[in-house]
Amino acid sequence: MKTKKDPDVLVIGGTRIKRGERKKLQLEVSTLFDYTELKIPVEVIRGKEKGPVLFISGAIHGDEINGVEIVRRILKRKILSKIKGTLILVPVVNIFGFNNKSRYLPDRKDLNRSFPGTKKGSLASQMAYIFMKEIVSKCTHGIDLHTAAVHRTNYPQIRASLDDNIETEELAKEFGAPVIINSKLRDGSLREAARKRNVRILLFEGGQALRFEENVIQVGLKGCLRVMKKIGMITSRDKYQRKPAFIANSSYWVRAPHGGTFSAKVKIGNYVEEGDTLAVIADLFGSSRVEVVAEKSGIVVGANLLPLVTRGDAMFHIANFDESKKVIKAVEDYFED
């Protein structure tokens, strides 16, 4: 277990946190036009014993708020008083986007394409730099919480670069989301920047933007606690038995072949066969109809909820698996007690 990043006195944003202490702090990032300061809220919980250093972050995209509630519920757990190592919880990273109910920063830049950032770059670059310097660089592990973009929804899933090392794959499975997607690292993403610093990181995706969805929140909450237990941070007795998780060998987006309004024939979590009708696109009179069909069999793990499309718009995200029958059964049973 790595412990070199768990010093006796941890300093974040100028605040000193000793072993056994729990402190709230704020990282100043900028000011508004009226000089109101905007700060990233952080809570740090330190165990008395050395151990892993884990960050859990929400709302890097400011409108993806299921993660905000997941972090709040983690903070209420009594087991946090007995942790080993250090837990750093950041409910909202993109404080600008959160306050504006927007994915982006005021300059329309995507914070999750701006890492690792620079000290004197754009606002996005500076925020990314602060988050990397003050949070990520001091951690051994990380969990980044996301939802789909606005007008879309995602089936609960873990995205990780499983080719990096065996530990990342083990943690992805332990999280317990029904689907795992072996996702390549994107330039400028937090995952890429963290990986370059040897931080084991998982990205959880689930639900819609600007919504609190209880089933997604429960998957995320239990998954984070399972990972905390797996890395030796807690010894929880909570009976969160992990259900089987399956790794997709590939995934693809089905795009609109024609513009118009569409009626979906499938939902996220549904299994589809090659050639199945996913949606029907029609004109305003309903007289001209174009079927949208699956190119390959798989599970629908993402969907466009806005029924207005132009040619080329992403409509359905479908993940492909080798063990189709087992996956179908597991997905059907996942949310059943």
Same domain membership, residue 270 and residue 168? no
Q: Tell me if the bond preceding 116 is cis, omega within 30° of 0.
A: yes
- Decide if 337 is inside a domain: no
Residue keyed to tokens 């750093």: 88
Same domain membership, residue 233 and residue 197? yes
Same domain membership, residue 268 and residue 194? no
Instruction: Return the pLDDT at 238.
Output: 61
Same domain membership, residue 53 and residue 198? yes
Digit-by-digit pLDDT tens for the chain (337 residues) are 445 688 999 999 999 999 999 999 999 999 999 999 999 999 999 999 999 999 999 999 999 999 999 999 999 999 999 999 999 999 999 999 999 999 999 989 999 999 999 999 999 999 999 999 999 999 999 999 999 999 999 999 999 999 878 999 999 999 999 999 998 899 999 999 999 999 999 999 999 999 999 999 999 999 999 999 999 999 976 656 677 889 998 999 999 999 999 999 999 999 999 999 999 999 999 989 999 999 999 999 999 999 999 999 999 999 999 877 778 888 888 887 5
Same domain membership, residue 296 and residue 221? no
* Domain C-terminal end among 202, 223, 246: 246
- Decide if 69 is inside a domain: yes
Q: Which residues contact 66 (CB under 8 A, 6 or more apart)?
A: 58, 145, 147, 206, 207, 211, 212, 213, 216, 217, 220
- Decide if 108 is inside a domain: yes
HSE on the CB side for 152, CA within 13 Å? 25
Same domain membership, residue 230 and residue 270? no
pTM of the model as a whole: 0.95
Question: What are the tokens at 241?
Answer: 């038995």
- Decide if 333 is inside a domain: no
Q: What sign does the CA torsion over 255, 258, 264, 265 have?
A: negative
Instruction: Return the pLDDT at 2.
Output: 45
Same domain membership, residue 169 and residue 300? no
* Domain C-terminal end among 246, 261, 293: 246
- Decide if 198 is inside a domain: yes
Instruction: Read off the DSSP letter of residue 33.
Output: T
Of 21, 59, 55, nearest to 135 (Cα)? 55
Of 98, 88, 46, nearest to 68 (Cα)? 98
Same domain membership, residue 221 and residue 139? yes
Same domain membership, residue 300 and residue 238? no
Same domain membership, residue 261 and residue 235? no
3-state percent breakdown (helix, strand, coil) of the chain, nearest 5: 25, 35, 45
- Decide if 1 is inside a domain: no
Instruction: Return the pLDDT at 239.
Output: 59
SS3 of 159, please? strand
Q: Which amino acid is at 336?
A: E
- The CATH number of whichever domain residue 210 belongs to comes to 3.40.630.10
Number of structural domains found in the chain: 2
- Decide if 325 is inside a domain: no
Same domain membership, residue 263 and residue 118? no
Instruction: Read off the DSSP letter of residue 111.
Output: G
* Domain C-terminal end among 203, 225, 246: 246
Same domain membership, residue 171 and residue 32? yes
147, 215 Cβ separation under 8 angstroms: no
- The CATH number of whichever domain residue 287 belongs to comes to 2.40.50.100
- Decide if 304 is inside a domain: yes
CA distances 126 to 115, 263, 320, Å, are: 9, 43, 38
Q: Which range marks the domain in which residue 272 is found? A: 250-320
